[in-house]
Amino acid sequence: MARALLRPFKAAAPLQPVIAVALAAALTGCLFQDKVESFDGPTMGSTFSIKYVRSDGVAEKQQLVRETEAILADLDRQLSTYRSDSDIERFNAQPAGRCEVMPEAVRLLVDAGKQLSEESDGAFDLTLEPLLNLWGFGPNGRVEQVPAPEKIAEVRHYVGYQHLRVDGQKLCKDAAVELDFNSIAAGYAVDRVAARLQELGVRSYLVEITGELKAQGRKPDGASWRIAIEAPRDDQRVAQQIIELDGLAVSTSGDYRNYFERDGRRYSHTLDPQTGSPIEHKLAAVTVLDGSALRADGLSTTLMVMGPERGFDFASQRNIAAFFVIREGQNFVTKSTPAFQQVVGAGVAQ
């Protein structure tokens, strides 16, 4: 999944009549005490950024920072495939026929992944790590390479969400599959952090973790949190659309920043579980809006695998708010589902 496609959009606040501001102050009693504050840091091999409105009832900034970092550290220890001591790597090292007690986060993500897999007829699959390594995109990938068809077929024997089951607090496998949560872990982290911020009194926030975002509420001046969907270019960052968010998460997947080329052919890091090889269609990027960042994260990957026609039909039939960017020769065309147009409405600026 290509991150860094989404970013907060900054614009000058619109001028408002003095009488309107005064009335708002009289009603709230604390308008001029409210202030946007922020903090950020490293996580999951990338970064996180939190912006929130400090108002009455919100915990001290130090506590918000401490608890956010604690959540992210816990998830890294549980879900990371880039550290040998994580819970999921402990499970991945086990042979077929084994069950291991796993944290709630692991079990929840396995169930969420299975649901997406079943909905999409296998376009989404959390057990792709052996194939990602084979192509050079995984944590143990030594070099970006084009494997022989025989090798792909061999590794595919160790791929398949159907080989997993949750049994109480245990995760079990009947084949030597290996899990990789990169397609939904960041979205789940966003949901977890956002929920904790709300428990600590934050009513308005923009949470971004490795490119996944969720926003709630409004800024002190009444403006919405705004983010930019970037055009699919690897030479510069250009905003393609501006979206206002309130109670929504947004996730974008793309194939143009994580790939390699061999003999004039482009190989994306997004693999199709049903072929064991990189996708080969004309969909360059897809953005999904949803109330759940976990769901948006997983769906953007799913639609990216499906491609422009199958993915658009899938999203339209299931009322998924999705925005597609499709290659057409040297240019790009865009289309959005009815749900995307309805959700975004007047909040989209071209």
Provide the 10 A C-beta neighbour count for residue 76: 17
Predicted pLDDT at 256: 62
Question: Would you mind telling me the total number of residues written for the chain in this entry?
Answer: 350
Burial of 207 (C-beta count, 10 Å sphere; 0-12/13-18/19+): buried
Predicted pLDDT at 137: 87
Provide the 10 A C-beta neighbour count for residue 282: 15
Distance between CA atoms of residues 118 and 114, nearest Å:
6
What are 235-272's pLDDT values in tens digits? 555 566 788 999 999 999 987 667 777 877 877 889 99
pLDDT band at 174 (very low <50, low <70, confident <90, very high): very high
Q: Which two tokens stand for residue 178?
A: 């290996």
What would the mean pLDDT of 140-155 be, rounded to a whole number?
86
Residue 349: pLDDT above 60?
A: no
Burial of 23 (C-beta count, 10 Å sphere; 0-12/13-18/19+): exposed
Residue 69: pLDDT above 90?
A: yes
Identify which has the larger pLDDT, 48 or 26: 48
- Identity of the residue numbered 127: T
Q: Which two tokens stand for residue 77?
A: 């220890």
Residue 73: pLDDT above 70?
A: yes
Percent of the chain with pLDDT over 70: 85
Residue 62: pLDDT above 80?
A: yes
Distance between CA atoms of residues 226 and 63, nearest Å:
26
How far is Cα of residue 327 from the mean position of the Cα atoms in its chain? 22
Q: What angle in degrees, to the nearest 10, is found between the helix axes of 308-317 and 293-306? A: 140
How far is Cα of residue 256 from the mean position of the Cα atoms in its chain? 16
Identify which has the larger pLDDT, 286 or 29: 286
Residue 4: pLDDT above 80?
A: no
How far is Cα of residue 110 from the mean position of the Cα atoms in its chain? 16
Task: Determine contact, residues 181/109, Cβ cutoff 8 Å.
Answer: yes
Residue 3: pLDDT above 60?
A: no
pLDDT band at 190 (very low <50, low <70, confident <90, very high): very high
Alpha helices in 40-179 (DSSP H): 61-79, 87-92, 104-119, 129-135, 149-156
Task: Determine contact, residues 172/164, Cβ cutoff 8 Å.
Answer: yes
pLDDT band at 145 (very low <50, low <70, confident <90, very high): confident
Identify which has the larger pLDDT, 27 or 306: 306
Q: Which two tokens stand for residue 212?
A: 């996944």
Residue 100: pLDDT above 50?
A: yes
- How far is CA 226 from each of CA 54, 117, 218, 269, 342, rounded to the nearest angstrom? 18, 31, 10, 29, 17
Question: Closest by alpha carbon to 196, among 50, 298, 80, 88?
Answer: 50
Identify which has the larger pLDDT, 348 or 303: 303
What are 313-347's pLDDT values in tens digits? 999 999 999 999 999 988 889 999 999 999 887 44
Residue 203: pLDDT above 50?
A: yes
Task: Determine contact, residues 278/262, Cβ cutoff 8 Å.
Answer: no
Predicted pLDDT at 262: 80
Residue with tokens 């090292």: 93
Predicted pLDDT at 60: 97
The rounded mean pLDDT for the chain is 87
Task: Determine contact, residues 216/194, Cβ cutoff 8 Å.
Answer: yes
Distance between CA atoms of residues 326 and 164, nearest Å:
34
Backbone φ, ψ for residue 300 (5° rounding):
-65, -40
Distance between CA atoms of residues 41 and 47, nearest Å:
6
Residue 46: pLDDT above 70?
A: yes
SS3 state at 81: coil
Predicted pLDDT at 142: 63
Say which DSSP state 224 is in.
B
Q: Which two tokens stand for residue 155?
A: 């590794």
Q: Which residues lie closer than 8 Å to 140 by C-beta, 6 or more apart?
A: 133
Domains in the chain (CATH in brackets) are: 84-173 (1.10.3980.10)
Residue 104: pLDDT above 70?
A: yes
Residue 18: pLDDT above 50?
A: no
Predicted pLDDT at 294: 98
What are 121-138's pLDDT values in tens digits? 999 999 999 999 999 888
Is the four-CA dihedral 254, 165, 121, 291 of positive or negative sign? Answer: negative
Which residues are 288's β-sheet partners? 251, 322
